[in-house]
Structure 1
Amino acid sequence: MRRMTFLLLLCLFAPFARAQADDALLQSVLAALGQHTAVRADFTQTRSNPALEKPQVSQGQLLFVLGHGMLWQTRTPFAETLAFTGTQAARIGPQGQPHPMRDARGVTRISQMLQAMLAGRADEVRRQFHIAASGSAAQWTLRLVPKQERMARVLGSIELSGDAYLEGIRIAMRDGGDTDIRFNRTRDAGALSGLEKRALGLP
């Protein structure tokens, strides 16, 4: 009888203990990411879709500045710079002038989530996503599933992985589409160019 009671208690408290462990890992990961106030990283993005004959591959550089937003600078197969600042998304012209993007709600939401993660703000992300953490502080994975039914009809999940820095993002869509982004040469941003400052609204 005592053994049965013990096993029952174990079953009851195991999910709670697992949730606490997940939360502790999440907080550790976000604390490490939040230490970097300005980061650059090279990226390779691979987009797959059942409607495409072969995956689309692009390469470029990401710039994230805490409290100001991020620049997504594609180099190949064509040059394009996108700025995500707060709730705004814009294409950046040659002189750094922004041109607001229309119908970019999905991209903006994902960029907001990523900015909040890189800034170490879990509460903002939890409002829209269920978060499950696995691994260790040295090599971790965070899986995000949308809470809102409307978003969940389109977006299946987002998976982030990394160590001291973010190493990869995998976005799975409900229509079978998949976007895989790998980061390398992640480092402190250093001095920003005039165009980068203008694009992010910095003095």
Structure 2
Amino acid sequence: MRSLTRILLFALLLAGFNAQAQSPDLLHSILNQLSQHTAVRARFTQLRQSPALTQAQTSSGQLLFVTGHGMLWQVQQPYPDTLALTGTRTVRIEADGRMQAMHSERGVSQISQMLQGMLTGQLDTVTRQFEVHADGSTAQWSLHFTPKPSRMAQVLRGIQLDGGVYLQRIRISMQDGTQTDIQMTDTHDAGPLSALEKHALGLP
């Protein structure tokens, strides 16, 4: 389920939030603001609560997002774990730089199909699956994603994104009662990428 959470996050980032919204003017302004940053680094803290867990799980680390190419999700605490998510694959990066493909889990295949649609410009794939409501202002905004009736809706209850100049917070609610809250700090333009980062995201 944690892999699905990361892929849901990546799907929304990669989509550029290209979905029909109840507040199209505000949404358009938010998109213009976010699109100024094509490669971003940030620190994250993730809190995950589930009815199946006796206590909440907390993790923290760094992420790198490059528009049109993917995201590196590097957990540093409580144990190191690095994933690369692109439109075609999800791989775990070992300490020596080797990459290991990850197997799909419940819901991942459908998210992957949605990613493929967005990568090829078929944005109707997104609008078919999500209702989006935007509120606030460009200085401080919220986007609420609610899945339309579908297989995805059987797994995902909804997603809320909050931000300003950059995306600041993601809250994901699953139908099984699992709640994931990801807060991002120290967000800034990425600057030059390392050779490993380029290789992981398929960049020359």
Partner of 1:40 in structure 2? 41
Residue 70 of structure 2 is matched in structure 1 by 69
Task: Find the aligned partners of 1:192 and 1:112 in 2 and give their Cα distance.
Answer: 28
Between the aligned partners of 2:113 and 2:130, the Cα distance in structure 1 is 12
Q: Distance in 2 between matches of 1:59 and 1:162?
A: 19
Corresponding residue SS for 1:25: helix
Written as runs of structure 1 = structure 2, the 5 A alignment for 1:1-203 is 22-104=23-105, 106=107, 125-203=126-204
Aligned-partner residue type, residue 36 of structure 1? H
Query: Is the 8 Å Cα contact of residues 41 and 183 (structure 1) preserved in structure 2?
Result: yes
Tell me if the contact between 2:21 and 2:133 (Cα under 8 Å) persists in the aligned partners.
no
How many residue pairs match? The answer is 181
Contact 1:97 1:198 in 2 (8 A): no
> Which amino acid counterpart does residue 67 of structure 1 have in structure 2?
G
Residue segments in structure 2 that go unaligned for 5+ positions in a row: 1-19
**Contact 2:92 2:101 survives alignment (8 Å):** yes
How much does 1:93 deviate? 2.0
Asked if the contact 1:97/1:199 (under 8 Å) is kept, the reply is no
Instruction: Give me the whole-angstrom Cα distance separating, in 1, the residues matched to 2:159 and 2:123.
Output: 15
User: Which structure 1 residue ranges, 5 or more long, are not aligned?
Assistant: 1-18
Which TM-score applies when normalising by structure 1? 0.80
SS of equivalent to 1:53:
coil
- Specify whether residues 21 and 85 from structure 1 end up closer, same or farther in structure 2 by C-alpha distance, changes over 3 A only: closer
What is the root-mean-square deviation in Å for CA atoms of aligned residues?
2.6
